[in-house]
Amino acid sequence: MSTHDSFLRVGMVGYAFMGAAHSQAWRTVHRVYDLPARVRMALICGRDEPKVADAADRLGWDGHTTDWRRLVESDDIDVVDICTPGDSHCEIAIAALAAGKHVLCEKPLANTVEEARRMAAAAATARASGVRAMCGFNYRRVPAVALMRRLVADGRLGEIRHVRAVYLQDWIVDPQFPLVWRMQKDRAGSGALGDIGAHIIDLTQYVTGQLITGVSAVTETFVKQRPLPAGSSGLAAQADGDGRATGPVTVDDAAVFLARLDGGALATYEATRFATGRKNALRVEINGSLGSVAFDLERLNELEFYDASRPGPEQGFSRILVTEPEHPYLSAWWPPGHIIGYEHSFTHQMRDFVEAVATGADPAPSFTDALQVQLVLDAVSRSAERAAWTEVAPVLAELPA
């Protein structure tokens, strides 16, 4: 176990939305759960010195740096947490693993299959010396999602026939919303597909235990040119009718696809940033031969369950309030009925990661699991380009022997 005086010393790269969410979880996790190692928030890294100094102070980090290489090579760091845009995941993760640091990397794992493959290979090599790597698909750790998985694994749904998953946001409906990094292919890899589609791909595969084998997809970029963000450089600029500098949106705004899963289920997926009025609506419904479950992230303390084995007159969807101590992750929180929120999924993620690292177990999802999601994303993009059914390459073929 690579802990120091039973402390795991964390260095985090990035301090925006995900950096803040991860910081909140690192601050909390060993105070909520009884863990084999406590967490020390040692070092935070960002490119802008005054901003990263402020972030360190605000988010509770002991020190800050503008040099991620210094962070990954430091003898005083055990874990590197990567919360940067996708274009730097591969380089930072591979350097950190080579330096013997355990790595937690935000989703999607990388911007391309080629990068994800190199990351998974580096993680496999590092694992031989006890170094662990995990990808941050935090929604796996929502208690109601973990309960769905348990119900499926216990056979309560029988044979799974249908998976219906959507992830709907609306934050760029306004065409004047600026061309931030999430709309640039070289920074983000893809748009709604990789950012939020990746979540529903991972979540549905996790819950059903089935992998996507092929897809038929359409994608669309509804607003093709947007105003440049203040202070941006390096983007190919044009001018709009009012003389403001604009640049091209190089990713999808929405991706819709159907899929086959290897256990025989049929699935449909929709990921969009143009669902006006829908802020962060991740919804999943799964129908099996013996029952169904339905989950909505905007009501994350609840799970709808239809149990077809109940007597006819009693049948119907029931609403489980997922706040009991027997429910996944909840024994350490509040008394039943005292609900939790979005940030708890990250605390649960850190709990599982710290436990795995400190006890020498493999955390999940591994980089190989995340590579498999990347292969699905890639198949979706290629299917949309070719307007044709596209098989998902098997993940093992992607890894070196």
Contact status: 381 vs ligand SOE (CB under 6 A)? no
Q: Output the residue with the shortest Cβ distance to ligand SOE.
A: 195
SS3 category, 248: strand
Contact status: 87 vs ligand SOE (CB under 6 A)? no
Contact status: 253 vs ligand SOE (CB under 6 A)? no
CB 84 within 8 A of CB 107: no
Binding track over 343-362 against ligand SOE, x by CB under 6 A? --------------------
Task: Give dist(CA 227, CA 248) in Å, integer.
Answer: 9
Instruction: List the interface residues with ligand SOE, window 273-292 (CB under 6 A).
Output: 280
Using CA atoms, how far residue 9 sits from 30, 44, 76, 84, in Å, is 13, 11, 7, 19
Q: How far is the CB of 109 from ligand SOE (least distance, A)?
A: 13
Q: Which is nearer to ligand SOE, 42 or 207 (CB)?
A: 207
Instruction: List the interface residues with ligand SOE, window 7-36 (CB under 6 A).
Output: 17
Q: How far is the CB of 253 from ligand SOE (least distance, A)?
A: 12
Contact status: 252 vs ligand SOE (CB under 6 A)? no
**Contacting residues for 295 by C-beta, under 8 A, at least 6 apart:** 144, 145, 148, 283, 284, 285, 302, 303, 304
Q: Which is nearer to ligand SOE, 17 or 230 (CB)?
A: 17
Contact status: 84 vs ligand SOE (CB under 6 A)? no
Q: How far is the CB of 375 from ligand SOE (least distance, A)?
A: 19
Q: How far is the CB of 201 from ligand SOE (least distance, A)?
A: 12
378: amino acid identity, one letter: D
Q: How far is the CB of 107 from ligand SOE (least distance, A)?
A: 6
Q: Looking at 23, 65, 169, 210, which residue binds ligand SOE (CB under 6 A)? A: 169
CB 202 within 8 A of CB 107: yes
Strand order of the β-sheet with 291-296 is: 317-321, 302-307, 291-296, 281-288, 160-168, 266-272, 254-261, 212-220, 390-391
Q: Which is nearer to ligand SOE, 72 or 192 (CB)?
A: 192
Q: Which is nearer to ligand SOE, 172 or 261 (CB)?
A: 172
Using CA atoms, how far residue 46 sits from 13, 188, 397, in Å, is 6, 18, 36
Q: Which is nearer to ligand SOE, 64 or 283 (CB)?
A: 283
Q: Which is nearer to ligand SOE, 43 or 207 (CB)?
A: 207
| Residue 95: CB atoms within 10 Å | 18
Contact status: 374 vs ligand SOE (CB under 6 A)? no
Q: Looking at 78, 115, 195, 398, which residue binds ligand SOE (CB under 6 A)? A: 195
Q: Which two tokens stand for residue 255?
A: 């991706």
Q: Which is nearer to ligand SOE, 78 or 106 (CB)?
A: 106
Q: What angle in degrees, to the nearest 10, is found between the helix axes of 49-59 and 17-32?
A: 30
Task: Give dist(CA 74, CA 99) in Å, integer.
Answer: 9
Q: How far is the CB of 116 from ligand SOE (least distance, A)?
A: 17
Using CA atoms, how far residue 68 sits from 72, 84, 191, 344, 390, in Å, is 6, 11, 26, 27, 38
- Chain CA centroid to CA 232, Å: 27
Query: What is the contact surface with ligand SOE in residues (CB under 6 A)?
Result: 17, 169, 195-196, 280
